[in-house]
Amino acid sequence: MISAGEFAVRAATTLLPQEARERYREQWLGELRDAPEAGMRASDVALGSLAFAATYRRPLPSLSRLTPERVVVRSRLAAGLALSTALVALTRYADLVSSAGFQDSPTGDLAMFVGSTLAVGSLWLTAYVILAPIISIALVTMTRGTPARVRIAVWLLVVASFSPAAQAAIDFNAGNVNIFYSEGGLAYLAAIAMAIPAVILLRREFRSSTAPVAPDATSHLRVLSVLSGLAVLLVATVCINDAATIWAARTPLAVSSDSDTAAYMFMAASEARAANMVFFTFVVWCLLCAAVGAAVSIGGLRSKTRRRTTLRLAAAVTFVAITYAAVVDFLHLMSASRESALLTETLMLLSRFTVIAIVMIAIGGMNLWRRSSARVAEPIVTST
Amino acid sequence: MEPLSRVTPATVDVLAVLSEAAGECWGLQVIKQSGRPAGSVYPILERLESIGWLSSYWETDDARSGPRRRYYELTEGGASAASETIAAFARKSRVVVARPVTASAVTA
């Protein structure tokens, strides 16, 4: 049976990096044995070993060899992952995915939310919004030399990405049914309040002229954005499929009396107003995303050509979002029947997820449309 | 050999013990003679070793069974740097202590 001191020493050594364990284990066990001989208490060695292990900060060899360029790449990757997750969260995708946008039912609780998202088929998106924050935190935590602004921004964005779960928990406890106008919505406001300073921090960090930029520093973010955009498009496809299924199984409206018709019209008008407000929120969100995408993209760019391209892309995204929103909203207001309303809801879903995908691509939209003029021309060698 | 980024009183005490030992010195010996807790001394020894002021090696005495002791010794550059650090810290401490006296003298 080992003593308490030996147990503490062995516990302390397990906290150390692999390459330092054997050395300190033997050293401390030797000092533990010889403590009485030296007129010391064994507990001094035990406590000392624990304190040493808790404060040991020497970087692992694999991490200490990171070049500044690699640190920049990892910082950008972490920022891109955290930012895209936070943006997905701010789209209230949980509401849309879990209820497919057609039911005024709360997401219930976290288990119900996860279960329903999996049931709808958005497994990839759910996996993404769970894994991306974990990876981004791991990147900024394990990469020594990550700028403090990036660390703070990533943490803020990760916390913001939990807003759907927070909203679900709040609404579930409050027993809310209408998920768009509830106390749970405060979770999204808080998320926006955290996302904005995070974006400002990232912009300042990546716009800094002193920050080293690797030649391929943007490629990871671009690939990530494209992949995440494709994932969101996949979810949009699933949602449209669900919408088609629901439409195919729709129940025809019953022929109603005059009074019932009036009541129905009143209800439909209320729903239209509610949807209008939701859509207004969506447009504001689109503008925010476009601004965020432009800011991050500009921050990561050095070339004037790429910067102009990104600005144009962000402007195009904003224009498309607003135009599409206006058209779909108009169609929605003009809907005379529930079936046509269902169709416009489908278009709304499509527009939302399309814009999400485009914005995600815009965030990392660096070198997407590389111009031939931007390439370095090969020197012409002439022989005389 | 790198310079010491941060010099604390505990660091100076450890350096003083190692300088006075003028040879091999094992961890508990440093802890006892410096009067500092083990939780302070172990990180200082590790820091001094990582910047090249100290070297360490296992004991070669076969008479003792079980885990070996780890001995520390100031390197050639570490010994001179330690002397300078101790002297600089002593000068700084004297200035800090003397400052109130000077101030009161001026006031008087």
Based on the domain organization, do A40 and A109 belong to the same domain?
no
Query: Cβ B67–A29 below 8 Å, yes or no?
Result: yes
Q: Considering its fold, how many domains does chain B have in total?
A: 1
DSSP string, A317-343: HHHHHHHHHHHHHHHHHH--SHHHHHH
Tell me if B44 is assigned to some domain.
yes
Higher pLDDT, A285 or A60: A285
CB A353 within 8 A of CB A232: yes
Domain that holds residue B89: 9-107
Q: Is A19 on the interface with B (CB under 8 A)?
A: no
Higher pLDDT, A287 or B59: B59
Based on the domain organization, do A90 and A198 belong to the same domain?
yes
Tell me if A229 is assigned to some domain.
yes
Q: What's the number of CA atoms in the CB half-sphere (13 Å) around residue A277?
A: 8
Query: Cβ A49–B68 below 8 Å, yes or no?
Result: no
Based on the domain organization, do A120 and A267 belong to the same domain?
yes
A377 — pLDDT class (breaks 50, 70, 90):
very low
Question: For residue B103, what is the domain's CATH number?
Answer: 1.10.10.10
Query: Cβ A45–B26 below 8 Å, yes or no?
Result: no
Pick B32's closest partner by Cβ from A25, A27, A40.
A40
Tell me if A183 is assigned to some domain.
yes
Q: What is the pLDDT of residue A76?
A: 77
For residue A112, count CB atoms less than 10 angstroms from its CB and return exposed for 0-12, middle for 13-18, buried for 19 or more. Answer: middle
Tell me if A366 is assigned to some domain.
yes
* Strand ranges (E), chain A: none
Tell me if A379 is assigned to some domain.
no
How many whole angstroms separate alpha carbon A83 and alpha carbon A80? 5
Tell me if A283 is assigned to some domain.
yes
Domain that holds residue A20: 4-55
Based on the domain organization, do A299 and A241 belong to the same domain?
yes
CB B87 within 8 A of CB B95: no
Residue pointed to by tokens 């949980």: A94
Least reliable range by pLDDT among A81-90, A94-103, B29-38:
A94-103
Residue A50: its chain B contacts at CB < 8 A? 39
Residue B27: its chain A contacts at CB < 8 A? 27, 31
Q: Considering its fold, how many domains does chain A have in total?
A: 2
Pick A48's closest partner by Cβ from B42, B68, B69.
B42
Q: What is the ipTM of this complex?
A: 0.86
Based on the domain organization, do A202 and A247 belong to the same domain?
yes
Query: Cβ B32–A33 below 8 Å, yes or no?
Result: no
Q: How far is A43 from chain B (nearest CA, A)?
A: 10
Total number of residues shown for chain A: 384
Query: Cβ A50–B39 below 8 Å, yes or no?
Result: yes
Tell me if B18 is assigned to some domain.
yes
Q: Which two tokens stand for residue A342?
A: 């269902």
Residue pointed to by tokens 């700084």: B92
B105 — pLDDT class (breaks 50, 70, 90):
very low
Domain end among A55, A77, A96: A55
A287 — pLDDT class (breaks 50, 70, 90):
low
